[in-house]
Structure 1
Amino acid sequence: MKLKAIDRRRWLLAAAAATACGNGIAAPAKSARPPVVLVVGDSLSAEYGLARGQGWVALLQQRLAKSMPDARVINASVSGDTTAGGRARLANLLRQHQPTVVVIELGGNDALRGLPVAGTRDNLLAMTRAAQAAGARVLLLGMQVPPNYGGAYGRDFSAVFPEVARQSKAALLPFLLTGIADVPDAAAWFQPDRIHPAARAHPRMLENVWPHLEPLLKQP
């Protein structure tokens, strides 16, 4: 009799579980992994010429500390880096940090050096696909070049970022320096070298990035 009572109890538990599944009630899922944001960039993200904590990546970490306390931001930006340099070091970064989101802010130095646009495109596409293959979502931060680089080169360079985003289905911010480099008082937003944004520009850079980054942070 005791054995039959145990079997009956097991049967009732199994029946209850089956009923719950039939009603669309699922067992609680394991909690999602906290976001890990890896920023692979150049001097625009490496706080060149700024006091520590003033760059947009540091400001991002401060914002996430309030809204997503478990999130981590790894700033792997290197001043002067090109897309070729970023591509060469990305594999180690992915293995080391296992990011959930990768932000790629590279290409400006390719343009400053007059490197072929095709190479920039290939490097960015390879980086994006490598990050996606590692399980990360990708946000590309687009750049533009000043008019003195020539109309054709400028158009071809600017087109690289939406093209890579389209081919890889990555998220895209078309121009990181919107509201900074394209305003009448642009000189006031830059350091004396007229290349690197001043500290006052970095909160604006974060505001440009955030609407494109926030959805990636919330995806399962």
Structure 2
Amino acid sequence: MTHSIVVLAGETLWLLAGKAIYWPSRKMLLVADIHFGKATAFRSLGVPVPHGTTNENLQALEQLIATFACEEIVFLGDFLHARAARAPATLAAMQAWRARHPALRLTLVRGNHDLHAGDPPASLGIAMVDEPHRVGPFALCHHPDLETDAYVLAGHVHPVFHLRAARETLRLPCFLLGPRRAMLPSFGAFTGGHAIKPLPDELVYVTADAAIFRVPGQGPDTVECLVPSIKNQ
């Protein structure tokens, strides 16, 4: 299964195996914590880390755009990892990708890394907003614990779940859905993860390769949102 369909705050969303959310009625992709240039930033500090993560991130975006009818991508914070991420090769790859999709709207909800790295170059044509960014019934945020009367879609935590079977354990990226918020997994290819412990009223969907599935026996049958459905604006 390449996606799981959920209804949050009255809206149908697709949780994608590609670690993003697709909002079909808006033709919008939601992506959290892509951290462009993180490997570059580490190498600038003398840490030997893999090359090619920028192209891997861009190829992952390319695949999603080719699969789903998409008019806008909203990045839920941490677009650039640090100021050192602005290496010429990194920016050139991003600019080439942008040139292939000139009509695609891009919006960045500033996260904590964006505050240090600075806004992306204006040539990338990204609209910059602060959290909470209200779209329909949702508050599009970076930080999941932001106080708001809307249902929060956020990143920041890089959630992963330890899936256990007998003596085997898998550590998988996951979506965490609760009554007031949903957290997306980190989209970036070199970002790590934080193991989460779901509450009784939270659902967990893990991703593995091209598949996504709900963790059995975890949480209620459905998430009952504690925020009202708001008419799309």
TM-score tier after normalising by the smaller chain length: 0.3 to 0.5
Give the TM-score of the pair, scaled to structure 1. 0.36
Richer in strand (by share): 2
For the pair shown, the structure with the greater C-alpha radius of gyration is 1
Instruction: Report the TM-score, using the length of structure 2 for normalisation.
Output: 0.34
